[in-house]
Amino acid sequence: MSTHEVMWTEKYRPRTLDAIVNQSDIVERLKRFVKERSMPHCLFAGTPGTGKTTAAMCLASDLFGKDYRKNYLELNASDERGIDVIRTTVKDFARTVGMADAPFKILVLDEADNLTADAQQALRRTMEMYTGTCRFILCCNYFSRIIEPIQSRCAFFRFVPLKPEDVKARIGYICKLEGVEITQKGVDALVYVGNGDLRKVINTLQAAAATSEVIDENVIFRIAGKVSPKEIKEVLSEALSGDFRTARERVVGLMVEYGLSGLDVVRQVHREVLNLNIEEKSKLRIIEAVGEAEFRLLQGGSDEIQINWMLAKIANLGR
C-alpha cells in the first residue's frame, strides 16, 4: 500500500487490547471488564498520543467482536462541545438498547476536557439515567478540567507517555512494512521529537517518508519544525560563556532556517537546560528566565525582544 493512500496513525493502530504496549496495568484492568462483560463509566487521562482513544476502541472490539461499531460511538468534544450535543446526539445514542447480544453500548467522548461547564452538568445526569444501556468513556488530557460529579462517577485510568524503547520498536515495525530506510540517528530524532507521543512520531515519520528516500535526523527535525538538541546546547554554551552577540545571531539563524517561533525556541531551551553540566543554582536561574520569557510571549510579547532578554539573562549569569 502506498504511503499516500492512508494515514499511518490509523493504519497501524492496535485493534485489540493485547497489542497495546507500555500500559500494562490499564490493559489488565480493561481485560477484566471484557472477561466479566461488565464495566463502569471510565475516565481516561494522560498526555496526547499515549493510546487513550485506541484503548477505548480496543475495549469495544474485544467486548463486541468484529461488528463492535454497531454498539460503539466516538464523538470529539473539541468539535461538539455544547449542551445541545449532550441533549441530542449523546442522549439519543445512550437511551437505545444495544444490538445483538451486547450487554450495553459504549460512547466515547474524546477531548472531554473541552466540554463546556453546562454540557458537563447535562452529561452527568445522562450518565446516571442510562447506565443500563450505555457506558461512557471520557478521554482527556487534563482531568482537572472535568467537574467533580463526573469524576466521581467514573473509574480513573492514568495513561503514561510511551517508553523510548517501545517507540523505537514501533518505528522499526512500520519502516519494515512500508519499505522505509531510516538511520539510527533518524530514529533517535523521532523519539526526541515525539517525546512519548506515538501519534506525533508516526505522523512525522510518514511526512518524512514522503519527502526523502533516506530519513536521517536532519530530515526529521526539519519536518517537525524542531532544532536538534546539539544546536540548542551550542547556543546555551555561547550564552553562558558571555558571548551574547554570537548566541543571538545563532538563534536568529535557527529561527529563519527552521521557521521557528519564539515560543518554540524557549520551550526547546527549557528542555535542554535540564541536561546541562552546570551547577543546580545556575540551572534554576536559567529556568526562571525561560519561564518569564514564555509567560511574556504567551501574553503577546515580541519574539525578538523576549529571546534577546532571555539570552541576555543567561549571558549575565555566565559572566
* Radius of gyration of the CA atoms of the chain, in A: 23
Pair (28, 150) in one structural domain = yes
CB 170 within 8 A of CB 14: no
**Amino acid in the structure at residue 263:** L
Higher pLDDT, 183 or 78: 183
- Range(s) of the domain holding residue 88: 23-159
Of 50-59, 116-125, 308-317, the one with minimum mean pLDDT is 116-125
Q: How confident is the model at residue 81 (pLDDT cuts 50, 70, 90)?
A: low
Of 2-16, 172-186, 264-278, the one with minimum mean pLDDT is 2-16
Residues 6+ apart with CB under 8 A from 160: 22, 23, 46, 50, 196
Percent of the chain at pLDDT exceeding 90:
55
CB 134 within 8 A of CB 94: yes
Pair (184, 244) in one structural domain = no
Pair (47, 151) in one structural domain = yes
Helices 244-258 and 262-273 pack at an angle, to 10 degrees, of: 120
For residue 4, what pLDDT is reported? Answer: 45
Q: How far is CA 1 from CA 15, 53, 178, 209, 239, in A?
A: 19, 25, 8, 14, 49
Pair (256, 133) in one structural domain = no
Pair (51, 142) in one structural domain = yes
pLDDT in tens, 193-229: 998 899 999 999 999 999 989 999 999 998 888 888 8
Pair (30, 103) in one structural domain = yes
The residue whose grid cell reads 467486548 is: 63
64 domain-assigned = yes
Point out the domain boundary residue: 199, 224, 249: 224
pLDDT in tens, 279-303: 898 999 999 999 999 999 999 999 9
C-alpha cell at 290: 525561560
Question: Residue 275 CA to chain centroid, in angstroms?
Answer: 23
Q: What average pLDDT is seen over the chain? A: 89
d(CA 248, CA 283): 20
* Residue 94: closest CA among 153, 41, 134: 134
For residue 78, what pLDDT is reported? Answer: 65
Domain total of the chain: 3
Pair (177, 260) in one structural domain = no
Q: What CATH code is carried by the domain that includes residue 116? A: 3.40.50.300
Q: What CATH code is carried by the domain that includes residue 183? A: 1.10.8.60
Q: What CATH code is carried by the domain that includes residue 313? A: 1.20.272.10
Of 94-98, 174-178, 193-197, 291-295, the one with minimum mean pLDDT is 94-98
d(CA 45, CA 143): 6
Pair (211, 174) in one structural domain = yes
With 50 as the cut, is the pLDDT of residue 8 above it?
Answer: yes
Point out the domain boundary residue: 159, 193, 213: 159
Point out the domain boundary residue: 109, 125, 159: 159
Pair (140, 204) in one structural domain = no
